[in-house]
């Protein structure tokens, strides 16, 4: 529990310091895309842009792996290792190709991902852990007043973020029509 608290505090401080320094460096003229704020023609700018481009590509395999594993489990009815390997390769390839085709053909794919992120990710990353913690420790009588107030505060902020993010992304999707 203490490790989680320390990690949360350090990450929050890191984000806050980065935000303050970014504002102090760029002020009111900050661009929406991070890479547009960097000076042009510099080697470190090119490295930063490449890093920004490579990071999502590297994370894609981790994000899509549970989907491919679930599909593979449904498809693999045999114990033959060679057929299972071929099924794994074909499934992974089909999932990647289908997501690329979907991203290229759906005009509001970015807004759709924003909708999923604001509605589901906030629920899974903020609301669900708080509610699970309360469910586990309320029955044991181990939640103090300060802790309860903090959890309720996190839940209220999480619900507000989810509602505003979902509303904004739905508004953007409707605006594309």
pLDDT tens digits for 33-92?
777 878 888 898 889 888 888 887 777 877 888 888 888 887 766 566 666 778 788 888
Please state the φ and ψ torsions of residue 33, each to the nearest 5 degrees: -95, 130
Evaluate if residue 153 carries a pLDDT over 90. Answer: yes
Give dist(CA 35, CA 48) in Å, integer. Answer: 8
- Average pLDDT, stretch 123-142? 84
Query: How many CB atoms are closer than 10 A to CB 131?
Result: 14
Average predicted confidence (pLDDT) for the chain: 83
Model confidence, pTM: 0.52
User: What is the pLDDT, as a whole number, of residue 64?
Assistant: 84
Query: How many CB atoms are closer than 10 A to CB 164?
Result: 12
Give dist(CA 126, CA 8) in Å, integer. Answer: 12
Report the greatest alpha carbon distance in the chain.
62
Element (H, E) at 42: none
CB-facing half-sphere around the CA of 4: CA atoms within 13 A: 4
- Compute CA 102 distance to the chain's CA centroid, rounded to the nearest angstrom: 19
Identify the residue with better confidence: 163 or 72. Answer: 163
User: What is the pLDDT, as a whole number, of residue 123?
Assistant: 85
Comparing CA positions, the residue from 109, 125, 110 lying closest to residue 162 is 125
């Amino acid at each position: 529990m203490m490790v989680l608290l320390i990690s949360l505090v350090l990450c929050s401080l890191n984000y806050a310091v980065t935000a303050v320094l970014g504002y102090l460096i760029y002020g009111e003229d900050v661009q929406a895309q991070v890479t547009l704020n960097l000076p042009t023609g510099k080697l470190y700018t090119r490295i930063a842009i490449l890093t920004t481009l490579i990071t999502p590509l590297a994370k894609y395999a981790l994000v899509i792996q549970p989907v491919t594993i679930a599909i593979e489990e449904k498809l693999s009815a045999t114990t033959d290792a060679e057929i299972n390997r071929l099924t794994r390769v074909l499934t992974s390839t089909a999932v990647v190709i289908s997501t690329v085709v979907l991203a290229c053909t759906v005009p509001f794919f970015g807004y759709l991902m924003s909708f999923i992120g604001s509605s589901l990710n906030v629920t899974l990353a903020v609301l669900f852990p708080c509610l699970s913690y309360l469910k586990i420790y309320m029955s044991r009588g181990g939640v103090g007043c300060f802790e309860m107030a903090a959890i309720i505060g996190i839940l209220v902020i999480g619900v507000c973020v989810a509602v505003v993010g979902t509303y904004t992304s739905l508004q953007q999707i409707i605006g594309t029509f």
